[in-house]
Structure 1
Amino acid sequence: MTPLQQRIAGHLQLLYPQLDAMEFAQECLAQFGLAADAPSPTPHRNLWDQSDVAVITYGDSLRSEHEAPLHSLLGFLNTRLQDCISTVHILPFFPYSSDDGFSVMDYTTVNPSLGNWDDIARLSRHFKVMGDLVINHCSSRSLWFENYKQGVEPGAGYFVEASPDTDLSAVVRPRTSPLLREVKTPGGERHLWCTFSHDQLDLDFQNPRVLLEFLKIIRLYLDKGIRWFRLDAVAFLWKTPGTPCINLPETHEVIRLLRLMIEHRAADAVIVTETNIPNRENLTYFGNANEAHLIYNFSLPPLLINTLITGCCKHLKNWLMTMPPAQYGTTYLNFIASHDGIGLRPTEGLLSDWELDTLIGTLQRFGGHLSSRTTPGGATRPYEINISLWDAFRGTAAQGPDQWQFARFLCAAGIMAALEGIPAFYIHSLFATENDDARVEHTGSFRSINRHIWQAEDLESALSSDTHHRQVFDAMRKLLRLRRQQPAFHPNATQYTLHTGEALFSFWRQSIDRHQSLFAVYNISDTPQTFNLSELNLIATDEWVDLISGERFEDPVAQVRLMPYQFLWLSNRHD
C-alpha cells in the first residue's frame, strides 16, 4: 500500500463511508491513469512569478469568416499579446444548451463551431491554458440526463433528487428561480435540484460514479494540454437538506481529493476555485495549502469600482489590510471584470446598504443592469451588476459622466496589476469594449451586455485607428509589459497597505529576495492630490524612479502632485 493510495483512501472514506475505501481508491487511480507510486510534488511551490498575467476570453470573442474562432484567438494572442500575458482562460468551449457555455452537453468534445482539441493543444504550446471544469451541474440536453430519464447508465443516478415536501428553506441560492424541477421517469415523477436554472441540473457527488466520471474528464483535459483548472460554482457541490448546501465540509473534501490526484499526475497543474461568496468564506478554499492553489478575489471588483466612482478608498484599504498573505504555493487571482457581472455578495459586511445602493444606482445610470437572488428567508437581494468595465468608469457617483473615463479605467488596471496575486484581465477590458445593449435585447440575458463578439476585421480596424479602443489597448499592453519585469510584483512578494488618506490609495511591495522595493500610489479621485514623499519613508540612499513616467525623485521628502487618477510605481530598482 503506497502513501498515495492511503491518502486517496482517507479522503474517500470521509466522502463515501459505505464503500471499501482502499478498493475504490484503486478504481480512482485506474480511471485517472495514475500510478500508485507516482512521486509527490514538493509542497508550497510557487508555480508562478511576476511574469504571470492571464487573459479571460470566450473561444469566439473574436470571429473571422475565414477560420475557426480558436484559430483567430491564437493568432491574435500571438501577434498582439505574446509579450503581455502568460495564461489564457478559455471559458467553456464544449457543446452547450444555455448560459453561454456553462450548461455543458458533452464534457469530452470541443464545440465544433469553435474548433477542435488540436486547437486547444496548439494554444497550450504557446500559453498556459485554463479550462473550466463545470463540476456542479450539466445540461438538460446531455446524454447523462437523457439516460436518467430512461433509467439507464451512465446517468441513472447522477442527479440530485429531492422531495418538494422537504424543508429546503435554508438553501443558499444565487438565483430567484424555483430550486426544483419536475421530471418524468419510468419510476414516476421526480424533482431534481437546479441551483442555477432548470436547464442546469445539479450533479450528485454523493454517487461515487459521478466522481469517477469527472476523474475521466480531468484526465482527458490533462492529456490535451490543460494545466489550470477552474472549478466552476464549486461551493454548491455537495447537498445536504437542512443545511445551506454551500461550503459544506464534503465540498472541501472533494477539492482536496482532486488537488491530490491532479498534482500527482501533473506537477505543474493549478487548481482555481470560483466561489462568488463573502470574503471570509472565500478564503477557506485555500484550505491549509491543500485545496485551491488560487482563489478568485471576488471582493476586489465591487470595492475597486466603488473606490473610483466615490473618490474614497476607505473600504478598499480596510479590506486589503484584513487579507492574509497567501502561503507559498497559493495566491490570489485578481480581476475586476469577467464574463459575469460584478458580484455583490462579496460586499456583504464591507459596504453598508446605503453605499451598496449608491454603487448600484450609479452603475445603472451608466447603462448597467441589476440581477438578484433569493435569500433563505425568501427575500430578494442584489446579486450582481451587469455592465462593461469601460462603461462602469464613465464618471463618479456625485457628478455623473465626466472627462476622466480613460484615466479612471487605467488607474483601476494599475491597481489590480500591482496587488499581491496574479492579475486576470477580461479580453473586453483590454479593448475597452462598450455595453452591448443589442446583444442583451437579442438574448434576453443581462450578462450579454459584457459578452460582445468582435469580428476580427472590425477589431483590427479599431485597434489601428484613432479610437478609445486603441488608446486603452496600447496603454494596457505597456502597463502589462512593465508589470512583468518587476520582481516586487511576484504574486507572493510582501505587501503592506499604507495610510495616505482617503483620496490616495497606496501600498508597498518588496521582492522575495528583498532587492526591489516598490511603492504604488494612486490618486483615486477626480481632483488633484498632493502628498509628501516622507509619508512613504523612502530609503534616502536609494535612487527612486517612477516606472510609469520615468521621473526620478532625488529628494526623499519632496512634495508630489498627482492629477486625477494619476498613479506612481516608485521603485528603487529600475534597470
Structure 2
Amino acid sequence: MNQATLHQLMTKRSKKYVDASHEAFGLRLATNISLISSLYFSLYPEKEKASYFPKLLDKMEQLFFKRPEELKELDLKRAKVGNWYQSEQLAGMQLYVDRFNKDIKGLDEKLPYFEELGINFLHLMPITTRPAGENDGGYAVNSYHKIDARYGTRKEFLAFTKKARSKNMILMLDFVVNHTSDEFEWAKKAIAGEEKYQNYYYTYPGRQIPDAFEKTLPEIFPATAPGSFTYNKSMERWVMTCFNSYQWDLNYTNPEVFIAMLENLLNLANMGVDVVRFDALAFLWKKIGTISQNLPEAHQLVSLFRMCLQVIAPGVILLAEAIVAPRNIIKYFGEGLLEGNECEVAYNASLMALLWNSIATKKTSLLYKSLLETPSKPQDGTWINYIRCHDDIGLGYDDDFIRDLGLSPREHRKFLLDYYCGGLDWSPAKGLLFMYNPKNGDGRITGSAASLLGLEKALEQKDKNSITEAVAKILMLHGIILSYGGIPLIYAGDEIGMLNDYTFLENEDHKDDSRWVNRPKQDWEAVNKLASKKNHASSIFNGLKKMIQLRKKLPVFADVSPPIIHPSSNPHIFVFERTNGKDRVWVISNFDENTQFLHVSWLFTIGIHPENNLKDGITGKKLKLERNLLQLSAYEHLWIMAG
C-alpha cells in the first residue's frame, strides 16, 4: 500500500478524535502506520489478503475506544516515563493462583505477604477457562478472557487488578498465542464443518501436507504426544497439534486470525494486565521444509502485534516466552529495522541454564564463554531473570561453546541429566527427567530449586553442613538474578525452600508430566512460623528479603546499562559489575563447595581497591583481605560496593 493511500486512511480517522487521549491515539497511529503496513504486507502480500488491512485499522480504533479510561491514563503516564520496566524497583514472583492460595480472593488476602518480601510484580499462571482433565496446566485455552470458575469471577479479578494498581503492583498474564484448545469456540465451529473456522487452524483432509510438514517438524513432547498432527473423526480432517493433541495450532497465514487474536489480546489487556507473556511465540509461523520455529515471519508477526498494541495501549508490554538457543533469544527484542519494535522483555533462559550448569560442574567457564560471545540485548529491552519456573530446565547450550571447552556436547548433557536426575550417587540433587528421548539422548530436568540444589537430600540425611550449603546455593543463585540486570522473578515456594512434590504421581491428569513435581501448594504453615522459628525456610526468606530491599536502594541495578562481565582468574568464581557511570557494584559468587580465593592484583584490574573503604552490601561487613587474597567460602555471594 503506497503512502498516499495510507494518508487517505488516516484522514478518514483523524476527524473522530475529540479529546486528548483520542488525539494521542491518532498521533501514535500516524507515527506507526508505515511500519504496521510494512509488516502487514510482508506477511500478507496476496491481493485477496490485502483487503483486510483497512479492517485491521478499523479494529484497532474500535479496540482503543473500548479501553477503560483509567487504563488510558496509565498508558499516558508510562509513555512519559519511558522504559518503566527497566527499574531497579521491580522484583517479581510467578505462581499458580490455586496452588498459592485457593483462588483470586485468596490471592488478594496475601498481598501483605508480597509486600513484606518486597514483591511488586506478579506473574499469574493461566486463570482462564480450559478443558477438564488434561489441559497443559491451563495452556490449552477455552477462552482468553473468561475467568475459570475455580479461581473466581471476572468481577473479582477486575477488583484485584484495581487493588494491585493502587499498590503499584505490576501484573503479568499469559497470552497463549500459538494455539487454542479443541474446545475453543473456533475449534467447535471448525468441527461442526464451518470452512471459515477450519481455515483458522491448519486442517487437511488427507496426509499429503501433514506428511510434508512432519519431515522436518521436531517433536515437542515425543513421549506423550508424538507427531505434530491429530486426526479429528468428527471433522474428518487432520489438525496440526505441535504440542498436545488437544492444542490446535492457529493458522496465522490467514489475516483474519491475526485480527481476531489482536482483539483477544486487547480484551486481556483491558482487564488490567500490564505485561503480556506471549507463550510459544517461536512457533507462530509454519512453513513446509523447515522446523517451523524462529522463522523470520514469526518475528514479523510478533512485531505486528507489538506495534498495534503500542498504538492502542502503549502502557502494556510484551514478554517473549522463547526458550531457544542464546543467539535466537536476542532476536525476539527485534533486529535491524525491527530492533526495539518486537518484545520489550524476554526470558533470560540462557543465564538460567548456564547457572545450573555451573552448579553441577562447579566451574564458570561455559557461563563466561556464553555470556561474552552472545550478542547483547538492545538498550530498550530487558530480561526476566529466573532460576526456576513452572516448566522444565532445558539444556539449550551452544554446542560450539561446549566443544571449544574440549567437551562432547552429548556427553556433557548426559552428565547434567545424571547429576540432576539421580544418575550419580554422589550428587546432592534430586530431580526428575522430563521428555527424555533415547534416540538422541536429549532430555530436560524437573524439580524444585531447593531439591535440585541439595536441600531435600540434606534434610533426609539430617546433615547440618549440607543444609547450610544448600541454603547458600539457593541464596547465591537468587542473588545473581536480583543483581544481573532485568526483572528478577522468583518462583513461588522457592522463597521458603519448598521441596519436590511427588503427589502428582497419584493424579491421573498429572502423573505422566513430571513438571508437576515442581508445582507444589504453598506451605502457609511454614510461612506462619518464619518469624518464630529459625530454620532453612526463615534463612532463605530473610536472605531474599534483605537482598530485594538492598536492590531497590541501588539505582545502579536499573537495567540501563549491561553488566560488565569479568572473567575470573579462578575457574570456580563468577564476577560481574554493575555501574551507571557514577556508582559501582561488583557481584562475586563462588560456585564451589571449597573455599576459593582471588588475588588482590586481579581485583585491582577490575577496579576493586580494598583500601577504598569497600564493603559487602549484603552483610554490611568491611571488605578484608588476608595475605593479599580475597577469601570466599563455599557458595559465598558478595555485592561489593562503597562503604
Q: Secondary structure at the match of 2:575?
A: strand
Whether 1:292 and 2:292 are equivalent positions in the alignment is: no
Q: In the alignment, which residue of structure 2 is the partner of 1:169?
A: 215
Q: How many positions carry a matched residue from both structures?
A: 558
Which string of whole-angstrom CA distances, capped at 9 and with x for unpartnered residues, describes residues 301-344 of structure 1? 22111212321111111112124333221022111100001112
Q: In the alignment, which residue of structure 1 is the partner of 2:430?
A: 367
Q: Secondary structure at the match of 1:342?
A: coil
Change in Cα spacing, 1:457 to 1:219, as seen in structure 2 (3 Å) is same
2:96–2:125: 8 Å Cα contact kept in structure 1? Answer: yes
Distance in 1, matches of 2:267 and 2:173, equals: 12
* Higher CA-based Rg: 2
Whether 1:536 and 2:603 are equivalent positions in the alignment is: yes
Please state how far the C-alpha of 1:185 moved relative to its aligned partner: 4.5
Whether 1:279 and 2:326 are equivalent positions in the alignment is: yes
Q: Give the unaligned 5+ runs of structure 2.
A: 1-6, 11-29, 67-74, 403-408, 423-428
Please state how far the C-alpha of 1:142 moved relative to its aligned partner: 2.0
| Amino acid paired to 1:447 | R
2:624–2:630: 8 Å Cα contact kept in structure 1? Answer: no
Which string of whole-angstrom CA distances, capped at 9 and with x for unpartnered residues, describes residues 457-506 of structure 1? 56434675344222211211111111222222112334221132211111
2:430–2:456: 8 Å Cα contact kept in structure 1? Answer: no
Distance in 1, matches of 2:585 and 2:230, equals: 54
1:174–1:373: 8 Å Cα contact kept in structure 2? Answer: no
Please state how far the C-alpha of 1:556 moved relative to its aligned partner: 12
Distance in 2, matches of 1:290 and 1:381, equals: 38
Change in Cα spacing, 1:206 to 1:31, as seen in structure 2 (3 Å) is farther
Change in Cα spacing, 1:328 to 1:544, as seen in structure 2 (3 Å) is same
Distance in 1, matches of 2:319 and 2:34, equals: 25
Q: In the alignment, which residue of structure 2 is the partner of 1:74?
A: 108
Distance in 1, matches of 2:88 and 2:177, equals: 30
Which stretch of structure 1 is more off in the superposition, 268-277 or 158-167? 158-167
Whether 1:7 and 2:35 are equivalent positions in the alignment is: yes
1:84–1:480: 8 Å Cα contact kept in structure 2? Answer: yes
| Amino acid paired to 2:182 | S
Q: In the alignment, which residue of structure 2 is the partner of 1:95?
A: 129
Q: In the alignment, which residue of structure 1 is the partner of 2:4?
A: none
2:382–2:487: 8 Å Cα contact kept in structure 1? Answer: yes
Matches within 5 A, 1:382-461: 382-394=442-454, 402-403=466-467, 404-442=469-507, 443-444=510-511, 445-454=513-522, 456-457=524-525, 459-461=527-529
Q: CA RMSD in A?
A: 2.9
2:269–2:276: 8 Å Cα contact kept in structure 1? Answer: no
| Amino acid paired to 1:495 | P
Q: In the alignment, which residue of structure 2 is the partner of 1:135?
A: 177
Q: In the alignment, which residue of structure 2 is the partner of 1:471?
A: 539
Q: In the alignment, which residue of structure 1 is the partner of 2:617?
A: 547
| Amino acid paired to 2:629 | Q
Matches within 5 A, 1:199-348: 199-287=246-334, 288-346=339-397, 348=399
Q: In the alignment, which residue of structure 2 is the partner of 1:562?
A: 632
| Amino acid paired to 2:276 | F
Distance in 1, matches of 2:87 and 2:526, equals: 35
Q: Secondary structure at the match of 2:127?
A: coil
Matches within 5 A, 1:102-141: 102-116=139-153, 117-118=157-158, 119-126=160-167, 127-141=169-183
> Which of the numbers 530, 544, 551 marks the counterpart of 1:483?
551
Q: Once the two structures are aligned, what percentage of the paired residues are identical? A: 23
| Amino acid paired to 2:636 | Q
Distance in 1, matches of 2:456 and 2:414, equals: 14
Q: Which protein is richer in strand relative to its size?
A: 1
Distance in 1, matches of 2:184 and 2:587, equals: 49
2:387–2:490: 8 Å Cα contact kept in structure 1? Answer: yes
Distance in 2, matches of 1:416 and 1:273, equals: 18
Change in Cα spacing, 1:210 to 1:383, as seen in structure 2 (3 Å) is farther
2:202–2:239: 8 Å Cα contact kept in structure 1? Answer: yes
Please state how far the C-alpha of 1:101 moved relative to its aligned partner: 0.8
Distance in 2, matches of 1:555 and 1:381, equals: 46
Change in Cα spacing, 1:509 to 1:289, as seen in structure 2 (3 Å) is same
Change in Cα spacing, 1:259 to 1:557, as seen in structure 2 (3 Å) is farther
2:95–2:491: 8 Å Cα contact kept in structure 1? Answer: yes
Q: Secondary structure at the match of 1:61?
A: helix
Change in Cα spacing, 1:46 to 1:534, as seen in structure 2 (3 Å) is farther
Q: Secondary structure at the match of 2:488?
A: strand
| Amino acid paired to 2:372 | M
Distance in 2, matches of 1:194 and 1:266, equals: 32
> Which of the numbers 85, 88, 99 marks the counterpart of 1:47?
85
Change in Cα spacing, 1:396 to 1:471, as seen in structure 2 (3 Å) is closer
| Amino acid paired to 2:120 | S
2:145–2:264: 8 Å Cα contact kept in structure 1? Answer: yes
Q: Secondary structure at the match of 1:241?
A: coil
Distance in 2, matches of 1:12 and 1:108, equals: 26
Change in Cα spacing, 1:396 to 1:226, as seen in structure 2 (3 Å) is closer
Distance in 1, matches of 2:626 and 2:487, equals: 31
Q: In the alignment, which residue of structure 2 is the partner of 1:23?
A: 54
Change in Cα spacing, 1:271 to 1:531, as seen in structure 2 (3 Å) is same
Distance in 1, matches of 2:480 and 2:489, equals: 12
2:172–2:276: 8 Å Cα contact kept in structure 1? Answer: yes
1:436–1:450: 8 Å Cα contact kept in structure 2? Answer: yes
Change in Cα spacing, 1:250 to 1:286, as seen in structure 2 (3 Å) is same
2:64–2:313: 8 Å Cα contact kept in structure 1? Answer: no
1:462–1:469: 8 Å Cα contact kept in structure 2? Answer: yes
Distance in 1, matches of 2:273 and 2:218, equals: 32
